[in-house]
A and B are shown apart, each in its own frame.
Chain A
Amino acid sequence: MLLKSLNIPRAEFESATGWALKPEGACKNDICIPIPHANADIVHIPDLAAAMNLPLAAEPEANLWALGPDSIGGRALSGAKAPELTLPDRDGKAFSLSSLLGKKVLIYAWAPY
């Protein structure tokens, strides 16, 4: 998740990372990580990153940060439920994987280089 500020609205964090901040902690699927002040409206990313063991990379010259993914269980996937994936098409129109619920889906990754 890219950040231009280290203090962001809770909802922004939740929609970008898929983690829901509840009174009991940060929760995704069946996992809840206890964190202090989980229901604050504004989250301070360095504190949250430390509590959740999420990596935070910084580029001070551009005033830009990136919060990396969790590594729960030591794998890229912590569960088999497909995460939401929303990306633009050729015309910039956003498409969400969840719109294909009910069908089998094959996601095919390619690159032009």
Chain B
Amino acid sequence: MWQALRNEYKDQNFELITVGLDSLGIEGCGAFIDAAKPEHPSLIDQHHVLAELFGVINIPSSIWIDEQGMIVRPAEPAPAPAHLREDKSNTPNIAMPAEVPQRVIDMMTEAAKFPESKGEYHDALRDWVEKGADSAFAMNAEKVVARSRPRNLQSALGHAHFELASQLEIDGNHPLAVKHFRAAHELVPDSWTFRRQAWSLEQVGEGPISRFWQGPNPANPEDWPYTGDWLEDVKRAGAENYNEQWQP
């Protein structure tokens, strides 16, 4: 659906880059990219460099960059455009099992409570595409830096552990990867993507929903290697706080 948005703006000196964050690379992102048939650059980020370089902590997020290569809005929640939200034509079919497990129903119930922007984000985007630096939504350098995520030596170390973890996962060393994912979670507690990435690699069951389980296997819950899981963490944070409120 971002393809449609891109087509709306492409004649206004605008380009969209979509970046799939997944240690599994093509294996994880390929089907989605194929279904979306992007005409814009569509990239794969196995090490979540967007987290390290731009401070992305959740998806969907966006960063706006002007014609001079200056960031004018740092990483922030980027809701789907309201008029395109129901358009599933460009997403792969994910076959649900005949009997949807209770956990998945509970997850969908929580996800439905995630806050949706009321269109302000897309009004702001249109304003910036049309007016550029004169748009009230284009921030100056000082504000961009101040609005980017807090980072200290501890959370920076968490990013290093995440990079180790994703490489170990790619190298097929899952147990060592888990160890460093855990360190990353502890050191960068505000990152949802670091957690969801790790949880999604503990696949439960077979088929397309196995990556969405993101929690203990009911057959052997004691084997779950992480302190939280999708359902537990979303409930603890409150689904309404899952995405930070978009601010002009």
Contacts and interface: CB of A to CB of B under 8 A. Distances in A.
A76 to B, nearest CB: 3
Contacts of A106: 14-17, 62-65, 125
Interface string B148-163: 1111110111111101
Interface in A39-85: 53-59, 61-62, 64-71, 73-83, 85
Contacts, number: 228
B160 A57 contact: yes
B70 A82 contact: yes
Contact of A113 (B49, B66, B67, B200): B200
Interface stretch (B36-44, B96-104, B218-226, B234-242): B36-44
B14 to A, nearest CB: 5
A1 B148 CA distance: 21
Chain A binding surface, main DSSP class = mixed
Contact-size category for B: 35 or more
Contacts of A98: 69
Contacts of B53: 69, 83, 85
B4 to A, nearest CB: 13
A75 B150 contact: yes
A102 B22 CA distance: 29
20 contacts: A2-B164, A56-B160, A57-B157, A62-B173, A68-B159, A71-B156, A76-B74, A77-B144, A80-B71, A80-B72, A82-B63, A85-B49, A102-B13, A103-B15, A104-B15, A104-B129, A106-B15, A106-B125, A113-B22, A113-B200
Given A59-B168, A112-B20, 19 more contacts: A2-B47, A55-B156, A59-B176, A62-B171, A64-B167, A64-B168, A69-B53, A75-B149, A76-B75, A80-B145, A95-B41, A95-B43, A105-B65, A109-B45, A109-B59, A109-B62, A110-B18, A110-B32, A113-B28
